[in-house]
Amino acid sequence: MKYKLLVEYDGTRYSGWQVQKDQITVQGKIANAVREIAPNMKFDLQGAGRTDRGVHALGQVAHLDINQSIDCEKLKFKLNDELPKDVNIIYVEKASPNFHARKDAIARSYVYQISKRRLAFAKNYSWWVKDNLSVDRMRDVCELYKGVHDFASFSEKEKDGPSTKLKLDVMNIQETESLILLRFKSRYFLWKMVRRLTGIIVEAGRRKVSLDEAAKFLERPSPKIAELTAPPSGLFLENVYYSGVEEGEGITPPLLTATE
């Protein structure tokens, strides 16, 4: 039986989603929970996106393929009973035998939280930028990078990785009293791409990178981009989209708003 899981997690103490040898990961914790409730049973657990060390998820999607039929609500509660408090299964539903959390995803969205002030309760979930940022300049860079571009300069090289030429469908900014929220949506993202885009956007907001300089980063590599990579604390995998599922239907949890 195959199940579709919606997972939220605080990535602060994890070495990302994907299982790694001798590392604590979110996928590893969920796999351990499955072993507790179904001992000695083979299973396959796959996530829709590979989040890095310290990155969080509001709506990670995973599939669990196991040779056992369990009521969805019962499975959710059993898994959550075994999981640590910083990993939570929001819902479980039966999926098609052919469903694959990663391969069937048609888009993903990420949100990055920038704090405009020192926060007592959200240090692990935002990047406090002490400078007075020009949001208008940041929006200009967002408009520049939106659309189809080669983002090779904004990613770490991956062996057999996806094409570096892709389309950013959404890249916008929402400002609140305490936060600046950057939102990105694309069919897929390159490794470290969102954090490096965020770093350049912030530098533009600091008035240390001009619009012309930002445009040139799309034309040729620069070591400056890697040096300005934003910290993982403010990054959230917000949503994973699938064909035939209405956008936002049950898979867009609310943003962290405790700072307001």
Whichever domain contains 77, its CATH number is 3.30.70.580
What pLDDT is recorded for position 246? 57
Residue 254 in domain:
no
What pLDDT is recorded for position 258? 43
What pLDDT is recorded for position 159? 62
What pLDDT is recorded for position 119? 86
Of 74, 94, 114, which residue is a domain's last?
94
Per DSSP, what are the bridge partners of residue 66?
Answer: 43
22-29: long-range contacts (C-beta < 8 A, 24 or more apart)? 26/51, 26/57, 26/60, 26/87, 27/62, 29/83, 29/84, 29/87
What pLDDT is recorded for position 224? 86
- Which of the following is catalytic: 22, 52, 71, 104? 52
Nearest in space to 70 (alpha carbons), one of 40, 97, 96, 92: 92
What pLDDT is recorded for position 162? 83
Per DSSP, what are the bridge partners of residue 181?
Answer: 113, 174
Q: Which amino acid is at 133?
A: L
Total residues found in the chain within this entry: 260
What pLDDT is recorded for position 146? 95
Residue 87 in domain:
yes
What pLDDT is recorded for position 5? 97
Q: What is the pLDDT of residues 155-189, one digit of tens each?
A: 877 666 788 999 999 999 999 888 999 999 999 99
CA distance 4 to 245: 13
What pLDDT is recorded for position 123? 85
One domain, residues 85 and 110: no
One domain, residues 156 and 217: yes
One domain, residues 176 and 87: no
DSSP 3-state of 52: coil
Residue 183 in domain:
yes
CA distance 197 to 182: 10
Q: Which amino acid is at 134?
A: S
One domain, residues 181 and 149: yes
One domain, residues 87 and 24: yes
pTM of the model: 0.91
Which residues of the chain carry a pLDDT beneath 50? 248-255, 257-260
Structural domain including 31 reads: 2-94
What pLDDT is recorded for position 160? 63
CA distance 71 to 63: 15
What pLDDT is recorded for position 245? 66
Per the structure, the count of domains in the chain is 2
52 catalytically annotated: yes
Q: Could you count the other beta carbons within 10 Å of the beta carbon of residue 232?
A: 21
- In CATH, what number is assigned to the domain containing residue 119? 3.30.70.660
